[in-house]
Chains A and B, each alone.
Chain A
């Protein structure tokens, strides 16, 4: 392990020797001693892990030396040791960025010892966080995070590249389970903002009355139960990315508040007056058609244009052809690895079965199907009998009852209308039938559109 470098800047040889001797008791520390501020500044390129400076040096006072060190590297930890018990001096030094301030007395060497240990621990945790962030970034590398090579997906890859190169807001749409959050994370971790937070909020998962305080934060005493100040999601995501999932679920009053935050680029906590400047990249997602919601009056048009940015419409899995098998193989490998199982393959019959299914739950459903099939399979190969489809959207009940062809047709059309928010043109297009067929059924009151 590399030694932890410590600079002691102390003009008093007696005191410097005591500090050096005490810290040298730990063989992991490499200590350099300087008697002037000038010497210390000349050696900063050696990147010390911590600098201890005496406030009263012959050539510079502790305050000015601290400033110069911080100018060189704002992250370099500095501890100031002084005989001055003046609180104002201590406060000014801490404000200027000193990690700590110790009064020179018999306990100083022990305080310094503890401070060095804490600093090492802090730096080691920081390194760990950086490594984890790096790993997370690699995990969300476009090709690792999103599997597939279908033309539909290749178009998405091209859009992702564009989205990650700029700060433009992004609106992701797609059926449930198509990977809207995965895509959003991939954009974040491939952008310039990757070292800053990615904060995800699911609007549908937060009770309506709590959304405002959750997004904007609140001050202590803002309402009953606000025992302490709380930072909101917008603030948490500052300099990074805020992902608002199920944006269409927001009620109109909150939509106007979000619009204001986006326009002003600042947020005010509930019950507070301070305006906090924001630099947030927004990614929104919904399974609904936002434009339709605007037309229906459920979503503000001005907010729609503000958040739309670069629209990315994720294709449903059934439109991604061979990606189904590619993903199935990937999920199977992943499952075997995480469960310490020998490798399993998929038989041709099972592949055919997988390819014929329509996956209303999309990629999420495919993963569940593959996980289950890996558990059910007895040998080293998944056969078609190991594959169970249990979609809640259509379900087995679809064929459980005996119905006439006409009744089945009505059920199917109803299902597609519901799925596409009563968009007759889209439903007709998906079913590959003429839209007049559906209009006739509505006219005959066989189907109703609410």
Chain B
């Protein structure tokens, strides 16, 4: 249920919250939604940031926040909040850029792990 990040040693994701909400079928369905929606959204956030489209950065980050939380991706909790806040200021910064890159990397990693673990 808890998958660890090989580099940081921290938990990559923790599905216990999701499992509390519903059945195994429900969890599988949510994982499919995650794979389909979240990594592509993270990539789009990066594209939007590169084009300095902060409104889209904010909107997409806001949209994927519940899935990050329900998937128990703790190492991104702070990042999604901060990306939303910094996008509001509408200023590019190395910190914002780093966080967006992290968001993209981690969400893709989670998607790959989940696919493998649940044969999705």
Binding site for B on A (CB under 8 A): 11-15, 17-18, 21-22, 56, 83, 104, 106, 109
Contacting pair A17 B21 (CB below 8 A):
no
Contacting pair A12 B66 (CB below 8 A):
yes
The reply on B4 being an interface residue by CB < 8 A is no
Contacting pair B65 A18 (CB below 8 A):
no
* Cα–Cα, bound, A21→B64 (Å): 18
How many residues on the B side are at the interface (Cβ–Cβ under 8 A)? 20
- Nearest to B59 among chain A residues (CB) is A56
Q: Hey, which chain A residues are within 8 Å of B33, CB to CB?
A: 13-14, 17
A18-B30 contact given A13-B37, A106-B69, CB 8 Å threshold: yes
Q: Which of A13, A14, A56, A83 is the one whose CB lies under 8 Å from B70?
A: A14
**Which B53-106 residues sit within 8 Å CB-CB of chain A?**
59, 62-67, 69-70
Minimum CB–CB distance from B34 to chain A (whole Å) comes to 7
Chain B, residues 1-30, CB within 8 Å of chain A (1/0): the string is 000000000000000010001100010011
Q: Beyond A14-B64, A17-B30, A106-B17: 12 further Cβ-contacts under 8 Å? A: A12-B63, A12-B66, A14-B33, A14-B66, A14-B67, A14-B70, A15-B67, A17-B33, A18-B30, A18-B70, A104-B66, A109-B21
A22-B63 contact given A13-B33, A14-B70, CB 8 Å threshold: no
Binding site for A on B (CB under 8 A): 17, 21-22, 26, 29-30, 33-34, 36-38, 59, 62-67, 69-70
Minimum CB–CB distance from A238 to chain B (whole Å) comes to 45
At the interface, is chain B mostly helix, strand, loop or mixed?
Answer: helix
Q: Hey, which chain B residues are within 8 Å of A13, CB to CB?
A: 33, 36-37
- Nearest to A15 among chain B residues (CB) is B66
Q: List 25 A-B contacts (CB under 8 A).
A: A11-B63, A12-B64, A12-B66, A13-B36, A13-B37, A14-B64, A14-B67, A15-B66, A15-B67, A17-B30, A17-B33, A18-B21, A18-B66, A18-B70, A21-B22, A21-B26, A22-B21, A22-B22, A56-B59, A56-B62, A83-B65, A104-B66, A106-B17, A106-B69, A109-B21
- Nearest to A82 among chain B residues (CB) is B62
Q: Hey, which chain B residues are within 8 Å of A104, CB to CB?
A: 66
Q: Which of A11, A14, A56, A83 is the one whose CB lies under 8 Å from B34?
A: A14
* Cα–Cα, bound, A11→B41 (Å): 13
* Cα–Cα, bound, A104→B34 (Å): 18
Minimum CB–CB distance from B111 to chain A (whole Å) comes to 13
Contacting pair B29 A17 (CB below 8 A):
yes
